[in-house]
């Protein structure tokens, strides 16, 4: 929840952003307050609190407090630490480990079981699966496709916007495009998602909550990883997307059952044969 507040802060009204800053500064206090008390202490109106909760994907103030309390009970605090020019290598290691661990815990707490079921259903029954991503997300798309091609479903990964936008139009009903974007706002990615939907195929998005891509997608797994791309290339978001890809790969493999096990064993045997003996 704290990561999600960071993610949407620049896209909500100033009064809601002020409320978000209050929550980030005093999360343990917030879970003990009523809506009226929280509004008064943050200097906003109660309707502002209600809009803020809706922007975070909650049905109301009660659900917001429950999710916030669950996050705080996880035991891993949100890490407000970026790498600074004066940091030693040891500082860099500590900050990156802490940020990545915190991000993964937040992703775990924020991942909906029903969303995983929906995504697994789409992929397990797909006629064809294509993976799209630009830049850093393109590398993630290739990694996930490398796992999926062993499952007996025709798959391909594209990281060139011209190619994946054209390929999207060759899909049809029963096909799925897994569209990966940390921001969920890249124009080429959004165009590809619209192209996929226009031909009757489905879009499974790995992206930020409350993003244009999330709103377009047939199914979505959220990865709210706040990062300052001006300081370094996105890292925590990449790890989160890779883990979500692993979850989907294993879930689809289990759904396909024993028939797939023989195929995977043949693949493992082929790999073992290419290794030098001890």
Tally DSSP H helices, then E strands, for the chain.
14, 5
Q: What is the tally of structural domains in the chain?
A: 2
Beta-bridge partners for 191: none
Last residue of a domain, one of 53, 73, 93: 73
Q: Is residue 200 part of a domain?
A: yes
Same-domain check for residues 147 and 209: yes
Same-domain check for residues 9 and 137: no
Cβ contacts of residue 27 below 8 Å, gap of 6+? 2, 68, 71, 72
pTM over 0.85, yes/no: no
What is each CA distance from 159 to 15, 113, 134, 270, in whole angstroms?
Answer: 39, 29, 5, 28
Same-domain check for residues 137 and 58: no
Give the domain range for residue 146. Answer: 113-268
Q: Is residue 95 part of a domain?
A: no
CATH number at residue 24: 1.10.10.10
Quote the pLDDT of residue 103: 79
Quote the pLDDT of residue 190: 97
Same-domain check for residues 221 and 158: yes
Residue written as token pair 């096990």: 261
Q: Is residue 85 part of a domain?
A: no
Last residue of a domain, one of 42, 73, 104: 73
Please give the chain's pLDDT, 278 residues, in tens.
787 888 788 889 999 999 999 998 888 899 889 999 999 999 999 999 999 999 988 889 999 998 888 877 655 444 445 667 788 888 888 877 877 887 787 788 778 889 999 999 999 999 999 999 998 899 999 999 999 988 888 999 999 999 999 999 999 999 999 999 988 999 999 999 999 999 999 999 999 887 999 999 999 998 876 665 545 556 778 899 999 999 999 999 988 877 777 777 777 777 777 787 76
Same-domain check for residues 239 and 189: yes
Same-domain check for residues 251 and 172: yes
Same-domain check for residues 59 and 121: no
Q: Is residue 199 part of a domain?
A: yes
Q: Is residue 175 part of a domain?
A: yes
Q: Is residue 119 part of a domain?
A: yes
How many CA atoms lie within 13 Å of 278's alpha carbon, on the beta-carbon side?
Answer: 0
Same-domain check for residues 154 and 262: yes
| Edge-to-edge strand list for the sheet holding 128-132 | 155-158, 128-132, 175-181, 202-207, 219-222
Same-domain check for residues 54 and 148: no
Q: Is residue 237 part of a domain?
A: yes
Query: Do 27 and 249 form a contact (C-beta atoms < 8 A)?
Result: no
What is each CA distance from 115 to 8, 82, 95, 160, 189, in whole angstroms?
Answer: 21, 31, 31, 28, 21
Last residue of a domain, one of 14, 43, 73: 73
DSSP code for 32: T
Q: Is residue 84 part of a domain?
A: no
Same-domain check for residues 63 and 143: no
Quote the pLDDT of residue 8: 83
| Angstrom distance (rounded) from CA 150 to CA 267 | 8
Quote the pLDDT of residue 278: 66
Residue 13 CA to its chain's centroid (Å): 24
> Which of 2, 184, 7, 179 lies closest to 105 in space, CA to CA?
2
Same-domain check for residues 117 and 223: yes
CATH number at residue 162: 3.40.50.10490
| Angstrom distance (rounded) from CA 243 to CA 106 | 13
| Angstrom distance (rounded) from CA 179 to CA 72 | 31
Quote the pLDDT of residue 274: 77
Kindly state the tokens that stand for 130: 């294509």
């Amino acid at each position: 929840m704290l990561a999600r507040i960071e993610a949407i802060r620049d896209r909500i009204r100033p009064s809601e952003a002020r409320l978000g800053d209050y929550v980030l500064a005093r999360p343990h206090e917030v879970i003990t307050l009523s809506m009226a008390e929280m509004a008064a202490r943050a200097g906003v109106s109660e309707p502002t609190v209600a809009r803020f909760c809706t922007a975070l994907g909650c049905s109301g103030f009660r659900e917001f407090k429950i999710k916030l309390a669950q996050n705080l009970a996880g035991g891993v605090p949100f890490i407000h630490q970026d790498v600074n020019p004066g940091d030693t290598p040891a500082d860099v290691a500590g900050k990156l480990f802490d940020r990545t661990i915190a991000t993964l815990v937040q992703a775990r707490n924020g991942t909906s079981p029903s969303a995983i079921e929906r995504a697994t259903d789409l992929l397990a029954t797909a006629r064809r699966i294509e993976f799209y991503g630009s830049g850093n997300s393109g590398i993630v798309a290739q990694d996930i496709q490398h796992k999926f091609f062993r499952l007996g479903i025709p798959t391909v990964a594209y990281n060139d916007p011209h190619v994946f936008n054209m390929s999207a139009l060759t899909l049809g009903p029963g096909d799925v495009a897994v569209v990966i974007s940390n921001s969920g706002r890249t124009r080429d990615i959004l165009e590809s998602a619209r192209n996929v939907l226009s031909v009757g195929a489905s879009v499974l998005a790995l992206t930020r909550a409350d993003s244009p891509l999330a709103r377009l997608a047939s199914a979505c797994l959220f990865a709210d990883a706040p990062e300052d791309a001006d300081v370094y290339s996105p890292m925590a978001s990449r790890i989160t997307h890779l883990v979500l890809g692993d979850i989907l790969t294993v879930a689809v493999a289990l759904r396909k059952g024993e028939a797939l096990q023989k195929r995977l064993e043949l693949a493992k045997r082929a790999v073992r044969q290419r290794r030098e003996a001890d």
